[in-house]
């Protein structure tokens, strides 16, 4: 059986195709963090006072906080004074159109398969893209179509200038500045991110998408995304991410806040493919992310779908606070850990309003020495009559050196709640692979078929184009050099 185990391991090796670096002149702050750095970041962005004050308040809160250690994750302490908190590709002036963007940047995104040229986009899929390169937003495509619908989709730094009242009202309203160690750090130093506002009754005419890229060495990426769906509006949003291959670990501590007002629906999908480190566990992104949505009004709905294949470490719990009566929260997740990757991910569903429903579908795939933990909390408050939750956590193991763990927590303070939890663990066995091969499928085809079968409940939640993308990505992550 020894040989079989080795074969399986070989099968799950892969190359990271997005690992190139872009040689571009950057305006980078020296490493280190203090109030002065925060003032500088805020100054570079010519921010209003309220924002600087908010950043400083977050920083002071952060100083009093401790890095969380409850997750099933093992990594050396991150030296936060060794990181640069701002890096921007050097650009002479503000840009009006894509023609003025540094061609090297456009090339980078082209290589990543992110179409920034509206011309090309018009011929194909209707997706508006906001691309964030290190700390700044490079281009937002399709601005015109969106503004005709009244949709605001722009870099957060631009929203701060163009609609400060919206930013002031909602920034930190779902994830407060002092929410947790990494969220506080982000609040203090966040450099860029996307802002979305959908007006009442509007169905956003296209998928919105942000593409994050960490390029510079020894920088952290601290983007902050704020999405507001006003009453009875609808938006579908996709986030993708990659980073170059580097031997050092890079920190990514993002915050995403979603606000869904009465009758509004937000669908947020992530395909996370940060550099996972090499097969010996060297390098890779440390991904410490706080994502939370609030269903503020009646019948509001927030749905998180994530496909996490990258990062050396993933610490991420996209959550929904179900304040409105009849509101709906959903979490669909595929997390893959290979080689020495570690993921501790899951969700929190907090039931406050009446008749709110939540669904959790989590699929963890572990291969190599990967460690995959699901951590979820279903909390039903006293007044949350007739709360309903269904959770399903499935783990798929390949080989015998990886691990899967589940930590489902349930806190129910209302007797009318119905909370269901199911969990399974299975293994891709040599016998399954042989069975498929005897029917004429190659080993790679067999693995990919089994893994995709395992994930299909989640993939069907992704917008079509991205489902195909995710399927391919998972294929690449598991199929070694094939594909």
Partner 1 sequence: MLSVRNLHAAVEGKAILNGINLEIGPGQVHAIMGPNGSGKSTLANVLAGRDHFEVTAGEVEFRGWDLLEMEPEIRAREGLFLAFQYPVEIPGVSNLHMLKAAVNAVRRHRGEEELNAMEFLKLIKQKAALVEMRQEFLYRSVNEGFSGGEKKRNEILQMAMFEPRLSVLDETDSGLDIDALKIVAQGVNSLRSSDRSILLVTHYQRLLDYIVPDFVHVLAHGKIIRSGDKDLALELERKGYSWVEDHAGAA
Nearer to partner 1, 80 or 449 (CB): 449
**Residue 7, CA distances (Å) to 32, 83, 338, 394, 430 in order:** 45, 39, 14, 24, 10
Residue 177: CB minimum distance to partner 1, A: 42
Candidates 21, 416, 426, 481; binder of partner 1 (CB under 8 A) is 426
Cα gap 180→263, rounded to integer Å: 29
Number of residues that bind partner 1 (CB under 8 A): 24
Candidates 454, 467, 469, 478; binder of partner 1 (CB under 8 A) is 454
- Convert residues 4-33 into a mask of x (bound to partner 1 by CB under 8 A) and - (unbound): x-----------------------------
**Strand-pair partners of 313:** 286, 342
Using N-to-C axis directions, what is the helix angle for 464-478 and 443-459, rounded to 10°? 140
Q: How far apart are the first and last CA of the chain?
A: 27
User: Does 423 participate in binding partner 1 (rule CB under 8 A)?
Assistant: no
Residue 366: CB minimum distance to partner 1, A: 16
Please give the DSSP secondary-structure letter assigned to residue 362: E
From the number of C-beta atoms within 10 Å of its C-beta (0-12, 13-18, 19+), residue 164 rates as middle
Residue 14: CB minimum distance to partner 1, A: 21
Region 236-255 residues binding partner 1, contact defined as CB under 8 A: none
- Count the alpha carbons within 13 Å of 280 in the hemisphere toward its beta carbon: 3
User: Does 50 participate in binding partner 1 (rule CB under 8 A)?
Assistant: no
Candidates 52, 163, 436, 482; binder of partner 1 (CB under 8 A) is 436
**Are the beta carbons of 424 and 395 closer than 8 angstroms?**
yes
Nearer to partner 1, 10 or 122 (CB): 10
Residue of 317, 374, 328 whose CA lies nearest to 351:
328
Residues in the chain: 483
User: Does 386 participate in binding partner 1 (rule CB under 8 A)?
Assistant: no
Cα gap 141→153, rounded to integer Å: 9
User: Does 149 participate in binding partner 1 (rule CB under 8 A)?
Assistant: no
Nearer to partner 1, 322 or 474 (CB): 474
Nearer to partner 1, 201 or 453 (CB): 453
Candidates 264, 450, 474, 478; binder of partner 1 (CB under 8 A) is 450
Cα gap 366→470, rounded to integer Å: 17
Candidates 435, 468, 481, 483; binder of partner 1 (CB under 8 A) is 435
Using N-to-C axis directions, what is the helix angle for 443-459 and 430-438, rounded to 10°? 110
Biggest distance spanned by C-alpha atoms of the chain: 68
**Are the beta carbons of 334 and 372 closer than 8 angstroms?**
no
Stretch of 51-59, 147-155, 167-175, 451-459 lying at the interface with partner 1 (CB under 8 A): 451-459
User: Does 482 participate in binding partner 1 (rule CB under 8 A)?
Assistant: no
Candidates 65, 98, 125, 441; binder of partner 1 (CB under 8 A) is 441
User: Does 400 participate in binding partner 1 (rule CB under 8 A)?
Assistant: no
Residues that bind partner 1 (CB under 8 A): 1, 3-4, 426, 429-432, 434-443, 445, 449-450, 453-454, 456
């Amino acid at each position: 059986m020894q040989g079989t185990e080795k074969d399986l391991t070989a099968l799950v090796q892969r190359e990271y195709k997005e690992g190139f670096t872009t040689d571009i002149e950057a305006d980078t702050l020296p490493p280190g963090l203090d109030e002065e750095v925060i003032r500088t970041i805020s100054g570079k962005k010519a921010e209003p006072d309220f924002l600087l004050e908010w950043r400083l308040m977050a920083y002071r809160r952060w100083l009093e906080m401790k890095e969380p250690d409850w997750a099933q994750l093992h990594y050396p302490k991150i030296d936060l004074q060794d990181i640069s908190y701002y890096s921007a590709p050097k650009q002479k002036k503000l840009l009006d159109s894509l023609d003025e963007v540094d061609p090297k940047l456009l090339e980078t995104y082209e290589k990543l398969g992110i179409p920034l040229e509206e011309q090309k986009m018009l011929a194909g899929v209707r997706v508006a893209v906001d691309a964030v390169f290190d700390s700044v937003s490079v281009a937002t495509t399709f601005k015109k179509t969106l503004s005709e619908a009244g949709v605001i989709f722009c870099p957060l730094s631009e929203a701060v200038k163009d609609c400060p009242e919206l930013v002031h009202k909602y920034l930190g309203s779902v994830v407060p500045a002092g929410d947790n160690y990494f969220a506080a750090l982000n609040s203090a130093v966040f450099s860029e991110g996307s802002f979305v506002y959908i007006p009442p009754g509007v169905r956003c005419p296209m998928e919105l998408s942000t593409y994050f890229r960490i390029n510079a060495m020894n920088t952290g990426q601290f983007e902050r995304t704020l999405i507001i769906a006003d009453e009875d509006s609808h938006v579908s949003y996709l986030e993708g991410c990659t980073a170059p291959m580097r031997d050092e670990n890079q920190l990514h501590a993002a915050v995403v806040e979603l606000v869904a007002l009465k009758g509004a629906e937000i669908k947020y999908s992530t395909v996370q493919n940060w550099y996972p480190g090499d097969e010996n566990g060297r390098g890779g992104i440390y991904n410490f992310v706080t994502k939370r949505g609030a269903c503020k009004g009646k019948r509001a709905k927030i749905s998180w779908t994530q496909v996490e294949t990258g990062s050396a470490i993933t610490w991420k719990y996209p959550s929904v606070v179900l304040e409105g009566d009849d509101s709906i929260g959903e979490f669909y997740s595929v997390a893959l850990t290979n080689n020495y990757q570690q993921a501790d991910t899951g969700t929190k569903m907090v039931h406050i309003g009446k008749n709110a429903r939540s669904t959790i579908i989590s699929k963890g795939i572990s291969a190599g020495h990967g460690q995959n933990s699901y951590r979820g909390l279903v909390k039903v408050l006293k007044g949350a009559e007739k709360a309903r939750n269904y959770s399903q956590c499935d783990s798929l193991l390949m080989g015998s050196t990886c691990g899967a763990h589940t930590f489902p927590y349930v806190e129910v303070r209302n007797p009318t709640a119905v909370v269901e939890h199911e969990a399974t663990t299975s293994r891709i066995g040599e016998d399954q692979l042989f069975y498929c091969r005897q029917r004429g499928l190659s080993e790679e085809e067999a693995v990919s078929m089994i893994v995709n079968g395992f994930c299909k409940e989640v993939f069907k939640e992704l917008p079509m184009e991205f489902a195909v993308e995710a399927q391919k990505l998972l294929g690449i992550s598991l199929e070694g050099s094939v594909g």
